[in-house]
Amino acid sequence: MNKRSEYPRPDFVRSQWMSLNGTWDFYIKEEKRTIEVPFVCQSLLSGIGEKIKEDEVVYERTFQIPAEWKGKDILLNFGAVDYSCRVFINGRMVGEHVGGQSSFSYNITEALNWGKEAVRVEVTDPLSDEKIARGKQFWEETSKFIWYTPSTGIWQSVWLEPVEKTRFRWIHFTPDVDEGMVRIDYCLDEKASFPCKVETEITRDGKDVFKNTMDCYEQQGTITADVFHKKALNGSFHFTGAYWSPEEPNLYDVVMTAEGRDGTKDQIGSYFGMRKIEIKDGKIYLNHRPYYQKLILDQGYWKESLVTAPSDQAFKEDIRKAKAMGFNGCRKHEKVEDPRFLYWADKMGFLVWEAMASFWVYTPQAASAFMKEWADVIQRDYNHPCIVVWGMLNESWGVPRISHDEQQQAYSKSLYYLARSLDTTRPVISNDGWEMTDTDICAFHSYKHGEEGDRKQQELFNRYLKSIEGIEKIMEKTLFAQGHSYKGQPVILSEFGGISVSEDEKGWGYTSVGKNQFLQVYDRILTDVYESEVICGFCYTQLADIEQEINGLLTENHEYKFDPEAIREIMERKK
């Protein structure tokens, strides 16, 4: 049974498409197996469930294009393949891709025979190469500490879609709540039949908001749409409309149609949220109000399927359970998540800090590959209102000499300014955890809240959280790299907690307590955070247990460990 049959790209929807998820032939060396795509061979849901030592694997299957698609261009889309691959149709190579976190597509029309088609994907994933972006995937044979089973090959959906010569390549929505409008930037394919007509329809709850048709003579264009209503109040004008927030995740639906001079058309379904993230007076504001972020660290792993969610419902359930415990968002950790997760975060109202998977050994080549893939990720996920922060590096992983090395500092800053140049609407963190360079948020990590019985450390944790100078004393490394300093940015404790239950002797956590004492300890450390007037948000480690790391609020099967209402009561002591 195909457990991942939903449309893979929910902010850029075409009505005609065909899933290629399901059973493929799978080769490790010369041995032929079968595998269930999009689950990696190391996962149980793949039908294989074995760790492999080989760096190269091959996928093959056949398919048939619907007859009514003939005469159109056929695109073959991949959500993500770890780490690099070459794709062949009927023995002809149609493209190659490098990077395990980003999506890619190929026009395969010229390689088709319009009968029984064969696709072959040759994957290379150097399991021991520490220079590639691999995140939490461990390079040794057995998982340990904070490192998990690696994932090789196709791990997000594969699908086909027919398109006309006149078609959209991408569409970006940039909300401006101050002006009550949204800017729509779009790009058409270079083969489009110009001049084109571009029609835009925006609705909310089925009611018309905006409709426009314009002539387009160039590949790229911009449309400005008024979506808020202007009302007079006390002698001045104010905008009224539906804002997006975790509490009220209002979305506007969009249908955009491009029609070429030759009559060919492309129609895209999408959506956007009207929300504004800004930094003022050392705080993060959402829609003009200070917003205290209560985030959960989310690694995006599942027991039976590793980095691929077992079902679309699993994304919804994780968000529902996190919100039920009082969290208003997550920090996605060392993984660029499937767009289906971002869709449900948009729909359900859940903030997301998005970041790349890290590499480990710095070389100019590794840095370049990371930077290119990160730019592709920002391009792909730009539209999601749930994403409120871009974060690239984590705890100096990949840049171990950043504290004093000018080259690695320059790299951190180049990532920061790259993100700022691609998106002016979201804050950016250069190096989450410590040794920061240029950054919009001062995001620090500390697990030094004190074991049970260690009253001295507990008191130090409480006291040191109250000032920037104190925070430096409960960190493993310096807050900022040499030559950089705190400049009044919002301060977020973006990793802390990590408490495991000591009755389970098989696992590991940053600290451990008895199950009956957990809520008391959780209450104590949250109270310490809440009492700090310096800190304006936090991210607790972590959502769910993963293999040997058992410090989640959910089990490895993503079920509650503790009463969610009891967690929520503690969380809501800070508004």
Given this model, what pLDDT does residue 232 score? 58
β-strand pairing of 535-541 with 117-124: unpaired
Residues 272-285, mean pLDDT to the nearest whole number: 97
Please enumerate in sequence order all residues whose Cβ is within 8 A of that of 487, keeping only pairs 6 or more positions apart, or say none: none
Architecture of the domain delimited by 22-156: Sandwich (2.60)
HSE toward the beta carbon, residue 352, CA cutoff 13 A:
33
Given this model, what pLDDT does residue 574 score? 82
Percent of the chain scoring above 90 in pLDDT = 90
- CATH 2.60.120.260 residue spans of the chain: 22-156
Given this model, what pLDDT does residue 233 score? 60
- CATH 2.60.40.10 residue spans of the chain: 168-272
Distance CA 484, CA 435 (A): 9
3-state DSSP assignment of residue 412: helix
Integer angstrom CA distances of residue 547 from 143, 369, 408: 8, 29, 33
Q: What are phi and psi of 24, to 5 degrees?
A: -120, 155
Confidence of residue 506 (pLDDT cuts 50, 70, 90): confident
β-strand pairing of 535-541 with 293-298: parallel
Q: Are 541 and 510 in contact (CB under 8 A)?
A: yes
Confidence of residue 486 (pLDDT cuts 50, 70, 90): very high
Q: Are 263 and 222 in contact (CB under 8 A)?
A: no
Distance CA 269, CA 256 (A): 7
pLDDT in tens, 101-153: 999 999 999 999 999 999 999 999 998 899 999 999 987 778 888 889 999 99
> What mean pLDDT, rounded, does the chain reach?
95
Kind and range of the H or E element at 540? strand 535-541
Residues 359-380, mean pLDDT to the nearest whole number: 96
Here the tokens at position 276 are 């504004």
Distance CA 296, CA 119 (A): 40
pLDDT in tens, 227-260: 997 765 665 556 678 999 999 999 999 999 999 9
Least confident window among 189-198, 224-233, 342-351: 224-233
Kind and range of the H or E element at 81? strand 81-82
Q: Is 141 exposed, middle or buried (0-12, 13-18, 19+ CB in 10 A)?
A: exposed
Residue 429 pairs in a beta bridge with 391
Q: Which candidate, 326, 334, 374, places its Cα nearest to that of 350? A: 326
Residues 196-224, mean pLDDT to the nearest whole number: 96
A 10 A CB-CB count for 293 gives 23
CATH class (in words) of the domain with range 286-571:
alpha beta
Distance CA 323, CA 312 (A): 17
Q: Quick check: 505 pLDDT over 70?
A: no
Q: Which residue type is seen at 100?
A: G
Q: Which residue type is seen at 45?
A: L
3-state DSSP assignment of residue 163: strand
Please enumerate in sequence order all residues whose Cβ is within 8 A of that of 500, keeping only pairs 6 or more positions apart, or say none: 507, 508, 509, 510, 511, 512, 513, 550, 551
pLDDT in tens, 430-478: 999 999 999 999 999 999 999 888 999 999 999 999 999 999 999 989 9
Kind and range of the H or E element at 387? strand 387-394
Is the pLDDT higher at 209 or at 127?
209
Here the tokens at position 404 are 């004093």
Q: Which candidate, 269, 182, 288, 267, places its Cα nearest to that of 227? A: 182
3-state DSSP assignment of residue 559: coil
Confidence of residue 78 (pLDDT cuts 50, 70, 90): very high
Is the pLDDT higher at 556 or at 141?
556
CATH 2.60.40.10: does it fit domain 168-272? yes
β-strand pairing of 81-82 with 153-154: antiparallel
Kind and range of the H or E element at 366? helix 364-381
Q: Check residue 425 and report its DSSP letter.
A: S
Given this model, what pLDDT does residue 476 score? 87
3-state DSSP assignment of residue 41: coil
Distance CA 405, CA 410 (A): 9
Given this model, what pLDDT does residue 234 score? 61
